[in-house]
Amino acid sequence: QVQLVESGGGVVQPGRSLRLSCAASGFTFTNYALHWVRLAPGKGLEWLAGVSYDGSEKFYADSVRGRFIISRDNSKNTVYLQISGLRTEDTAVYYCARKEFNWGPMSGAFDLWGQGTVVTVSS
């Protein structure tokens, strides 16, 4: 079954760190760039970060650069998002998304989404 499954969310105090994981199955993981997107309460989808098929290129939204780190382990078919210095405004559902198989890691549609993992930042 072709799918992405996120995990690692939870309730976290402000200032702490968290690592989210996204496990892929049912497709050739190393053919695709992977990205993280979030949906905060009352807001729309926000792109956060992306990583190329081999992990050599990483891209970040200006709003999270310096606090978020994306990485991937192709031996485990997993992509990660490390978040440091958590803020209340980071409260959201975090999704990983597969970028369609063509062109570069930042060119194309997201053609597969996970179900999301919830991060709540609260003291």
Partner 1 sequence: QLVLTQSPSASASLGASVKLTCTLSSGHSDYAIAWHVQQPEKGPRYLMKVNSDGSHTKGDGVPDRFSGSSSGAERYLTISSLQSDDEADYYCQTWGTVMVFGGGTRLTVL
List contacts with partner 1 (CB under 8 A): 35, 37, 39, 44-47, 50, 59, 61, 95, 97, 100, 106-116
Q: Which two tokens stand for residue 41?
A: 């309460």
Smallest separation (angstroms) from partner 1 to the CB of 66: 16
For partner 1, the closer CB: 23 or 45: 45
For partner 1, the closer CB: 16 or 43: 43
Amino acid of residue 111? D
